[in-house]
Amino acid sequence: MNARLRKLYDDVADTFWLLPALLVLLGSVAAFGLVEIDRNGGVPAWLLENWLYNGGPTGARTLLGAVASSTIGVAGTVFSITIAALSLAAGQMGPRLLRNFTRDRGNQITLGIFLGTFCYALIVLRSVRTADEGAFVPHLALGVGIALAFVCVATLVYFVDHMASRINVDTVIGLVSDDVRNVISELAEHEPQPVPPPPPPAHWRDAEPIRDRRAGYLHHLDDDGLATWACEQEAEIRLLIRPGDYVFPGAPIALIKPPREGAEQAVRNATALSQTLTSSDDLRFAVRQLVEVAVRALSPGINDPNTALSVLNRLGAALCEMQPLQLRNGVVVKQGRIVLVVPHVQYDELVDAMFHMIRQNAAGNPSVLIGMLDVLTQVASVERDPPRLSSVRKHADLVMADAEREVGSRDDLADVRSRYRAFMDVVELGPLGPFRL
């Protein structure tokens, strides 16, 4: 159940309409409240004489009508242009990144202010009465409406600047790389935990498979709740999928040993599926978003290697920040015994997700291959753990092999070989290796 609640929270947080709807509701409530204050004569005379609108009902209606029509017109025009800009950005950086624009609070607040002001002006407008109708002008509400009109002007200026910076590719890369760093920080341990290694595959030979009839991507997993259930049942569960994996109908989703009644329902309650590949628990998804920007930049239609190099720099920075961190092994222990094993992304898988696809699309591009070797060299200068260094070296070897096969210019190939030798010096001799030779 906790997984479903987390998914519901994420779905609501990702919706574009929630914050604008709240601002529209706030504007409507404020309009009714301020009009009621005017009806009850709660406006001080000095405020009315010096600061508020003190004209007649005709002018009040004209003013409120202008505020309402202009705000809704500007809102429609601005967001029509925004959709066109986002369509262009989606073609260059990938449609999956549009989620970052719809989640952006600046866009939501801008739409909410315009629509909230529009609703506010309409509600106040309906309360204005001429002399024939029983003269009434809500001076306080009208004064606030004028102030909201100026707020809309300031919001428009902010929105133009905000969107101009948001569709910049470097800004998008920075935002997605922040997501990568946040997920790494959430899924990694700052201090090694005394957790035993997962049981070998042979341990699960006599386990019973748990099948799921649903279909979709695993969005959230309540591992603590599932581990508690397994502990109460004195059973062991091994999940066969992890957040971000696709669940196929009827395929085994977990193994349980020994079999227990209600295991299928327990697994269903602990997992929440989604039809879209979005998960705050999936480190690979955050990395793939960043890699997609680089791959699209390397396509013949765009041909922007500088963007690919920028992505490589951010990926290398994420690996350098991981140096003191340990990725979880997915083993959950309760009451002194293993009750749950969840597959988690390990360091070599993470490095593969970061560099494989970019290298494959940049095989004939010496500048990107050189940039990748430079990034791997910096990672090797920070990361001295032998297994991790071995994973980093594997990708440097692949880059060198691709260069030997695909790069036709002897001078370009010589540059790649020089960077590869510098990488090997750092791996074998340490960060100051090239300076000791």
Q: Write down the pLDDT at residue 319.
A: 92
Beta bridge partners of 333: 338
Could you state, in chain order, the average pLDDT of each consecutive group of 10 residues for the chain (437 residues)?
65 78 94 87 61 75 90 86 72 66 82 93 88 77 89 92 79 82 77 74 89 88 87 90 88 90 89 76 81 87 87 93 84 86 87 93 90 94 90 94 89 92 87 61
Distance in angstroms (rounded) separating the CA atoms of residues 100 and 163: 12
pLDDT for the residue 49: 59
pLDDT at 299: 84
pLDDT for the residue numbered 25:
95
Query: Residue 435: its pLDDT value, please?
Result: 59
pTM: predicted TM-score of the whole model, two decimal places: 0.80
CB contact set of 38 (below 8 Å; sequence gap of 6+): 136, 137, 138, 139, 140, 141
Please give the pLDDT value at position 167: 74
**Coil, strand or helix: which one is 236?**
strand
Position 184 scores a pLDDT of 81
Torsion, CA 355, CA 361, CA 364, CA 368, rounded to 10 = -50
- Beta-carbon contacts of residue 204 (< 8 Å; ≥ 6 apart): 238, 255, 257
